Structure 1
Amino acid sequence: MPSFKKYRVEDSKFRLASIDPADAPFLEGDEQAQQERLDHLAGELDELQNLLHAEGRRKVLLVLQGMDTSGKDGTIRWVFSRTSPLGVRVTAYKAPNDDERARDFLWRCHANVPRSGEIMVWNRSHYEDVLVPWVEGWIDRDEVRRRYAQIRDFERLLTETGTVVVKCMLHISKKVQRERLQARVDDPGKRWKFQRSDLDVRKKWSDYQQAYEQALGATSSKNAPWHVIPADSKHHRNLMIAQLLVKTLRGMKLALPPADSSLDGLVVE
């Protein structure tokens, strides 16, 4: 299996340009072989989630961040295609509403952390409340530093109370984003996904790349590291995240609770 080391953010000196969005080390064989591999991983993920649920002590939080069209929805659809919906919850974060803005920026996220035995997936996350305000000029550098410090404390709280945090930045090229946005415009069946505001954000591509680089370097920690996922290839994106999740859950050494010996010999009539 290819190594994740190259794609794990180790310190504040990380540069996003060091990762090629077209990298595809986890792709092997033809498209059919890749799909079979993804199906196998999705099945194993279901088995591991069942153990997580049975153990009932720990939980997993998967954070998905990335530019528009990087594939957050597609990742969730394919990686969890075999997983019982009883053990996985998904929350998608959009611009905060009035009620959310009236509270601290982490309030809406803390309300959606995973329960014991559960995998929680965040489609966008608490990072939106730093990335967007910074690029749009709504907060200054001091506030950015404060919020990233608060995020580090928040994630430390989660990890110290039994949550395994997996953070993935879906890294696509500007060229591939253009192709995917154009595909949405050209296909009436997908046009509902397109918003004109996507073009306004695209104009600030370089600003957002720098903001992501800052976020990754400031908040990747030993207990809650960031992984940059080359995502120009949808198959590669899905395979890499599925493999990362399986690797993470295996590393937790999940086990069924001790069997109730009082049931030995019981005959159900």
Structure 2
Amino acid sequence: MARQEIIDAMRKYTDPFRVTNGNDFRLLDFDPGDTLGLKMGKEEAAQLLDRGSKWLAMEQDILYAQDSWSVLLVFQALDAAGKDGTIKHVMSRVNPQGCDVSSFKQPSSKEISHDFLWRYAKKIPERGRIGIFNRSYYEEVLVVRVHRELLDAQKIPACFVGKNVWEERLADIARFENYLTRQGVVVLKFYLNLSHEEQKKRFMSRLDKPEKNWKFSASDVRERRYWKDYMQAYDDAIRATASEGAPWFVVPADNKWFTRLVVAAAIVEAVEKLDLAYPKVTPEKMKNLAAARQELEAEGTHTRKHREEQK
């Protein structure tokens, strides 16, 4: 299939959820249970996802060989939205040697002693690689905003922590992403849009099944109390940082198979747009390859001759 055909095929899954201009953005306009009217069984969905994963694996090989672009995938969501599972399934066929996953937990004392972007900037993927942020610098305008005491712990001079601190941080993030895109980093941001009802259902499943108990924490329920605060924070974050160069995808997360399909489609589409190709071999390189072939063939001849002499 030609590149443009692939891009066009992917767009039907990505365009409805892509946000590149946040001026009129509202989370309320996106249905967490949306599947674009598609109805398919788990097996059919898995086969479709597998095709996308295979294609991504082929493109990753060229990305690595070309050594010019890099890709940064940012995943944000509330608990139980399926970030880990989405990353696992979508990236299942990607070569681990060309991919780095970073999960950002509570910052260390050293990290708090730096600016709020420092620990994230260190993990930006190098050229030819795919980087995955399982949570990201957006936590600094989400969880830190909802729990103000976390901002106080960052020891920022009081004169820089005014009433506009969140707008200022969002502006810093937008500029940071603009900088990355101008360095050849393809930035794709995914908000897995889970409904309040579906989150409760998944929490109950974790409680009901002993093998899933380890995934549950009492803090998960406590965070549900701040649902409206988080929705407002996500609204503001997406509105302030959506751009053509670093788009958001507000991905319906109530149906895991559809979540994974949309994420895979968005990544395949973005990588295809790069029009990647293996590096061209120079005439000098061709001469070296020919010499190497000649040497290896001669080595085989000498080995056979030596064996015959030993008989």
- TM range, smaller chain: over 0.9
**Contact preservation (8 Å) 1:229, 1:240:** yes
1:84 and 2:101 aligned: no
CA contact (8 A) 2:14 2:265 kept: no
Instruction: Tell me what 2:16 maps to.
Output: 6
Asked if the contact 2:49–2:260 (Cα under 8 Å) also holds between the matched residues in 1, the reply is yes
Hey, what does 2:123 align to over in structure 1?
Answer: 112
Aligned residues: 269
Shift of 1:12: 2.7
Q: Aligned letter for 1:262?
A: K
Specify which of 170, 173, 181 is matched with residue 148 of structure 1.
Answer: 170
From 48, 58, 73, the counterpart of 1:37 = 48
Superposed, 1:19-30 pairs within 5 Å as: 19-25=30-36, 27=38, 29-30=40-41
Letter in 2 for 1:176: E
Q: 1:185 aligns with which of 186, 192, 207?
A: 207
Q: Alpha-carbon deviations, 1:77-124, whole Å to 9, x = none? A: 100111111111100011212111111110000010001100000000
What CA distance in whole angstroms lies between the structure 2 residues aligned with 1:28 and 1:200?
A: 35
Larger-gyration structure (1/2): 2
* Alignment CA distance shift 1:3-1:233 (3 Å): closer
Distance 1:107 1:40, change over 3 A: same
Aligned-residue offset at 1:13: 2.0
Give the stretch that moved more between structures: 180-189 or 245-254. 180-189
Change (3 A) 1:106 1:29: same
After superposition, the CA RMSD in angstroms is 1.5
Shift in CA distance, 130/43, structure 1 to aligned 2, threshold 3 Å: same
Aligned equivalents of 2:170, 2:289: Cα separation in 1: 53
Tell me which moved more, 1-10 or 82-91.
1-10
Contact in 1 for aligned 2:13/2:265 (Cα 8 Å): no
Task: Report the equivalent of 2:29.
Answer: 18
2:287 is the counterpart of 1:262: yes
What is the distance in 1 between the residues matched to 2:141 and 2:261? Answer: 29
Match of 2:191 in 1: 169
Task: Output the TM-score relative to the length of structure 1.
Answer: 0.96
Q: What SS does the aligned partner of 1:60 have?
A: strand
**Percentage of pairs with the same residue:** 38
When the two structures are superposed, what TM-score results if normalisation uses the length of structure 2?
A: 0.83
Unmatched 5+ residue regions in structure 2?
Answer: 1-8, 152-161, 298-311
Q: In structure 1, how many angstroms separate the alpha carbons of the residues matched to 2:252 and 2:13? A: 13
| Aligned residues of 1:65 and 1:124 also touching (Cα < 8 A) | yes
